[in-house]
């Protein structure tokens, strides 16, 4: 049977008479009420209850913890990210292929598009948070790296760091006044300048690695949705931290080659990523109608993510006013 017909037949089988309903194999007998009686939330839950099917076992794969060992996805910890297995599981479930167009309206770290690219499936993602937009569009670039490519660039970049002019950062953002010791902040600012002088895709890739070391070089630690300050924390030197990150990326380049030899070697399946508010799609240039939408479980949407990107954004010269807003 033609792939598309098979897919439609499978979806019909899954959805019965209701084309919008998505049913999965496993039935969950009990359901905990997580909202107040008579609340707007309850009305919404009731209105859509025939369309919602819970599969609680997926809980363990919607958290970034499952990405701890995933090539590339382990590099920048975006706590609310899906795991690779979560996205891959759904792509397989729907037998997605290159004729599909996967859409993640809340793209976050970019797991959905990154995983789609690995499987040669075109995809599009949107996030309104600049750091999420940035990582969503940068993560797939790592898939195009050759062995030792990044290591060589890092070797030629390191002697330039100390000679670089310290980059401007949003020092008026309150957390920047307490997050780093003076010497570390100076090195980070010089490192940022040296990275800014690289050409793309290396600038973006190095910037993602740079963002990923900020926490270990700072007196802060992620705690729930906040950054907690701990002046007694043992901090890493930015250069050592970058050395470790580069080694990690190089290891991942090798692992990816072993794991999947058929990853696209070109940018044919490079995802489209937009910095936008998903509630208004009027400016989004979809290549075609998305055929698969993967988004976070609605119950997780209660968290304000902006706090997470604060330090990264401060290095990206976003005005403090924008941050506060």
Ligand X SMILES: C[S@@+](CC[C@H](N)C(=O)[O-])C[C@H]1O[C@@H](n2cnc3c(N)ncnc32)[C@H](O)[C@@H]1O
Least separation in angstroms between CB 145 and ligand X: 21
Token pair in block for residue 15: 């959805």
Tokens of 304: 């304000």
How many angstroms separate the Cα of 235 from the Cα of each of 75, 183, 219, 241, 248?
18, 12, 7, 10, 19
Q: Which of 196, 197, 267, 277 touches ligand X by CB under 6 A?
A: 277
Count residues near ligand X (CB under 6 A).
Answer: 22
Helix (H) or strand (E) segment spanning residue 194: helix 182-196
Between CA 187 and CA 166 the distance in angstroms is: 8
Nearer to ligand X, 129 or 213 (CB): 129
State which residue, 15 or 306, has the beta carbon closest to ligand X: 306
**Interface pattern 80-99 for ligand X (x via CB under 6 A):** xxx-----------------
Which of 126, 139, 195, 213 binds ligand X (CB under 6 A)? It is: 126
CB of 158 to ligand X, least distance (A): 31
Coil, helix or strand at residue 226: strand
Segment contacting ligand X by CB under 6 A, of 37-45, 93-101, 125-133, 259-267: 125-133
Between helices 202-213 and 130-142, what is the axis angle to 10°? 120
Binding mask 219-248 toward ligand X (x if CB under 6 A, else -) reads ------------------------------
Using rule CB under 6 A, residue 296 touches ligand X? yes
> Is 128 exposed, middle or buried, given 0-12, 13-18 or 19+ CB atoms closer than 10 A?
middle
* Choice from 102, 132, 241, 313 touching ligand X (CB under 6 A): 132
Q: What's the Cα-to-Cα distance from 269 to each of 69, 86, 114, 143, 204, rounded to whole Å?
A: 24, 20, 10, 11, 18
Interface positions with ligand X (CB under 6 A): 78, 80-82, 104, 106-109, 111-112, 126-129, 132, 277-279, 296, 300, 305
């Amino acid at each position: 049977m033609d792939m598309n017909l098979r897919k439609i037949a499978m979806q019909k089988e899954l959805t019965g008479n209701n084309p919008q309903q998505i049913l999965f194999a496993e039935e969950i007998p009990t359901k905990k009420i997580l909202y107040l009686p008579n609340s707007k939330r309850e009305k919404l839950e009731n209105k859509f209850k025939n369309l919602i099917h819970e599969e609680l076992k997926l809980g363990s794969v919607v958290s970034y913890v499952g990405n701890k060992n995933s090539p590339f996805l382990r590099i920048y910890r975006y706590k609310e990210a899906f795991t690779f297995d979560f996205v891959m599981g759904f792509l397989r479930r729907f037998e997605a292929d290159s004729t599909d167009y996967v859409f993640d309206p809340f793209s976050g770290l970019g797991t959905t598009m990154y995983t789609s690219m690995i499987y040669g499936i075109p995809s599009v993602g949107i996030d309104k948070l600049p750091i999420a937009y940035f990582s969503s569009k940068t993560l797939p670039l790592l898939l195009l790296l050759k062995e030792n490519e990044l290591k060589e660039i890092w070797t030629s970049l390191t002697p330039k760091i100390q000679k670089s002019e310290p980059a401007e950062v949003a020092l008026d953002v309150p957390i920047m006044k307490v997050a780093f010791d003076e010497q570390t902040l100076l090195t980070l600012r010089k490192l940022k300048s040296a990275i800014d002088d690289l050409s793309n895709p290396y600038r973006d890739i190095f910037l993602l690695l740079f963002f990923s070391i900020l926490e270990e070089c700072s007196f802060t630690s992620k705690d729930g949705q906040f950054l907690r300050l701990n002046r007694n924390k043992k901090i890493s030197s930015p250069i050592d931290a970058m050395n470790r990150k580069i080694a990690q990326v190089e290891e991942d380049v090798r692992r990816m080659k072993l794991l999947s030899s058929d990853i696209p070697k070109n940018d044919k399946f490079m995802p489209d990523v937009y910095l936008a508010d998903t509630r208004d799609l009027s400016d989004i240039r979809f290549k075609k109608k998305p055929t698969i939408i993967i988004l976070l479980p609605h119950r997780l949407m209660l968290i304000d993510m902006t706090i997470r990107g604060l330090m990264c954004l401060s290095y990206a010269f976003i005005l403090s006013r924008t941050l506060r807003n």
